[in-house]
Amino acid sequence: MPSGRNPGQGSTAIDAVLDNLDIFAEGFRRTVALSVLAAVAALLVGTALAAMRVSPVPPLRWFGTAYVQTVRNTPLTVMFFFVVFVLPQVGVVFSYFVFAVVALSIYHAALVCEAVRSGINGVDVGQAEAARALGLTFSQNLRLIVLPQAFRNVLQPLGSVLSALIRNTSIAAAFGVQELTGVVQRLTTANPDSVIAVLLGGMVGYLILTLALAGALALAERRAVTIR
């Protein structure tokens, strides 16, 4: 009767990670690039969407609402599928890396928009009224008075969105981008005797990113408090 043996555990298991550090590094770089580019794009687009949703122009409000409701209720995998396989059929062809950034940005922009909008709603109405009384236009009001306070209010939920974004980049592995998860899949196949070590290696990669994000957020929070 077979007992609970675990061949391949021990020093050889770690070798599977150490021998392939260059491959890990390459995947890690792609994950970082995907995360950073998609985060910047999602923050910009999401903030623009939030501005639309609170703007005095009804068509802009309608567009913002429709965007958020459509995108936020679509699974990210479906979004990827749409971008990677449907866009080329209408003549929009980019590299798979760009497609992945696009899909991630579209999806997380909706989440950023809702976080920022809740921040805007949390800013005292008196602030916007006072700004208007001083003669500031809508965009000046938003840019100089409301948004800076709104962002301070929603640092934590924004952090959650960005942290989710980092982990969601793993879906790109299924759509032509060999990032960290793709590398883990590749190395687990190549090293069947040390699957757990390879998985742990991949986990460490994601932890580096999410912990760095958490650190940055903690700094930002401390600064936000001192400004207030």
Partner 1 sequence: MRVPFTRSRLQPAGARPHSPAAAGRAVPSARSGGTRLGSGARRDARRRGGALMLGVAMLAALGLTACGSSDDGDSATPSDSASFAPGTTMARLHDAGKITIGTKFDQNYFGLKNLSGKPEGFDVEIAKIITDGLGIPRDHVNFVETVSANREPFIQQGRVDMVVATYTINDKRKKAVDFAGPYFIAGQSIMVAKNNTTITGKDSLAGKKVCSVSGSTPAENIRKVAPAAQLVLFDGYSKCADALKNGQVDAVTTDSVILLGIIDKDPEAFKLVGGTFTREPYGIGIHKGDTAFRTFINDTLEAAYKDGRWAKAFSSTVGKVVPNTPTPPPVDRYTS
Which one, 88 or 122, has the nearer CB to partner 1? 88
Which token pair is 163?
């942290």
Helix locations, 55-154, DSSP H: 58-72, 76-81, 96-122, 125-133, 138-140, 147-153
CB of 178 to partner 1, least distance (A): 6
CB of 185 to partner 1, least distance (A): 3
Min. distance of Cβ 89 from partner 1 in angstroms? 6
Instruction: Give yes or no for a contact between 202 and 20, defined as CB atoms under 8 angstroms apart.
Output: no
Q: State the Cα–Cα distance between residues 184 and 3, nearest whole angstrom.
A: 28
Shortest Å, Cβ 80 to partner 1: 10
Closer residue to partner 1, CB minimum distance, 109 or 184:
184
Footprint of partner 1 (CB under 8 A): 1-9, 13, 85, 88-89, 93, 96, 173-176, 178, 182, 184-186, 188-193, 195-197, 199-200
d(CA 21, CA 80) in angstroms, rounded, equals 29
Nearer Cβ to partner 1, position 64 or 182? 182
Nearer to partner 1, 1 or 225 (CB): 1
First-to-final CA distance of the chain: 68
Contacts 24+ apart (CB under 8 A), 98-102: 99/175, 99/176, 100/34, 100/38, 100/169, 100/172, 100/175, 100/176, 100/177, 101/34, 101/37, 101/38, 101/41
- In the complex, least distance from residue 219 CB atom to partner 1, rounded to whole angstroms: 31
Q: Identify which of residues 72 and 186 has a Cβ nearer to partner 1 in the complex.
A: 186
